Amino acid sequence: MAPSNATTPVTVNTSTTKATMTSMTLGQESEVKSKVKAEVKTEVKPEVKPEVGPNKETEKKKVEPTLTKEERFQKLKDEGNAFFKKGTYNDAVRCYSSCIDTDPTQVASYTNRALCYLKLNQFHKAETDCSIALALEENNIKALYRRAQASKGLKEYKKCLQDLMSLLKVDAQNKEAKKEMDAVKDLWRKELMAAKGESAKSGKKSKAEKKPTRIQIEESDTDSNEEKEDSSQVRPNQKSSSKAGKSSSKGDSKSTAKESQENPAEKQTKQTSSKKAARNSKPTTNAAPKLNKVTAYEFMQAWMSLKGTRNLAGYADLLKQVPPNDLPKVLSNKLDGDMLGLIVRATSDHLAEKDPGMSYSILYHLIDVERFNTMVLFLSKKDKKSLRKALDNLELAKCEAYTTEDVKTLRQNYAL
């Protein structure tokens, strides 16, 4: 017998094995396909981030390099103008400041920012910006006008009027500057009047506070003895003087009695004749005193001596004695509104036609006198009228000492 663990040969049908192999491969393929389909269905799609609008910072970084310096400046300026029109002045200031950072040589950035500061009542900042603008462009009208407004806001009226005067020298027909000048003049007058009133009140208070004090005087024995001796010596004279006083009083009573008996008509005629005689006895000379030396002291003494006379011929004679180029030294800081008005009228009435060269020199050198720029603002309408008349005569005279252009500059200097 053969052993039990002996292996028996297995006969395999090759046709069946091929069929099973082919069937297995088909099954496997179907399984694979099904698995692939499942994987495709369950496959996780990659996250797609939502499209977000461009960030402003990244946009700026992308835009800035493409813009030129001029284009960026103009863009910022337009933005500032738009903010200003909306009334958002702080945003406008930010834009104009960026303009200055981009190109600090552009005057418009400073004048525009100054206007915003004026709207925000930041007058010191506005004044600073205008000063920078004027350093870049000396006669910039906007800078002069806006700095004048800043000075007005700070109640520095003298500075304000000086800037407006400078503006009118550049543009004599500027209506806004003229209106502003009139308004500032009124404000300054009110301030001066208020200051005078306060000083007068303080003076009255100080006088009221000062009460008279009684002083007790103690006399020594020696003084009393001397007084006794003096009184004993004076008594006879006192008696004689008292008698004389009585007799004079009697004489006065007699004269008054006689005057009372006179006719009232006779009294009136006597009074009128005495008044006429007094008038005729007054000196009627209009000539100015002659100056021994042309000094400030002697000139002012002569000028003050003419104040009683209303005739301008005396002032004209006095001005003739002073070389015009010495007027700034002679007048020094004594020039006031009344004096300037008298000089202008005396020159117009008595010198412009007779001596146009002299009158032009006087008016020209007056400009260099201290306080002229302030005092010229307070010329009255009458003074300005006579000044225009004088300048018209100077233009018609055609003197070799000056030209018509010189007269035009004089008109500007006197704010005509």
pLDDT digit string, tens, across residues 142-171: 999 999 999 999 999 888 988 998 898 889
Q: What percent of the chain has pLDDT over 70?
A: 62
Q: For residue 348, what pLDDT is reported?
A: 87
CB 315 within 8 Å of CB 306: yes
CB 356 within 8 Å of CB 324: no
pLDDT digits (tens, 9 = 90+) for 321-373: 888 888 998 888 888 888 888 888 888 888 888 888 888 899 899 888 888 87
Q: For residue 59, what pLDDT is reported?
A: 52
Which letter, b or e, does each residue of 202-236 get, where b requires 16 or more Cβ atoms within 10 Å of its Cβ? eeeeeeeeeeeeeeeeeeeeeeeeeeeeeeeeeee
The separation between CA 185 and the C-alpha centre of its own chain, rounded to angstroms, equals: 10
| Backbone angles phi and psi of 120, in degrees to 5 | -90, 5
pLDDT digits (tens, 9 = 90+) for 280-309: 444 445 677 888 888 888 888 888 888 777
Determine the Cα–Cα distance for residues 361 and 390; give it in Å rounded to an integer. 12
| Backbone angles phi and psi of 405, in degrees to 5 | -65, -35
Determine the Cα–Cα distance for residues 160 and 181; give it in Å rounded to an integer. 8
Q: For residue 203, what pLDDT is reported?
A: 59
Mean pLDDT of 4-26: 48
What residues contact residue 184 under an 8 Å CB cut-off, 6+ apart? 148, 152, 157, 160, 161, 164
Pairwise pLDDT comparison (356 vs 141), residue with the higher score:
141
The Cβ of residue 143 has, within 10 Å, a number of other Cβ atoms equal to: 25
Q: For residue 94, what pLDDT is reported?
A: 95
Q: For residue 240, what pLDDT is reported?
A: 42
What residues contact residue 347 under an 8 Å CB cut-off, 6+ apart? 316, 319, 359, 362, 363, 390
Q: Looking at the predicted structure, is the pLDDT value of residue 229 above 60?
A: no
Pairwise pLDDT comparison (294 vs 275), residue with the higher score:
294
Determine the Cα–Cα distance for residues 203 and 181; give it in Å rounded to an integer. 33
Residue 266 pLDDT level (bands cut at 50, 70, 90):
low
Nearest to 319 by CA among 273, 271, 354, 280: 354
Give, rounded to a whole angstrom, the gap between the first and last alpha carbons of the chain: 156
The Cβ of residue 82 has, within 10 Å, a number of other Cβ atoms equal to: 13
Q: Looking at the predicted structure, is the pLDDT value of residue 254 above 80?
A: no
pLDDT digits (tens, 9 = 90+) for 91-120: 999 999 999 999 999 999 999 999 999 999
Determine the Cα–Cα distance for residues 44 and 40; give it in Å rounded to an integer. 9
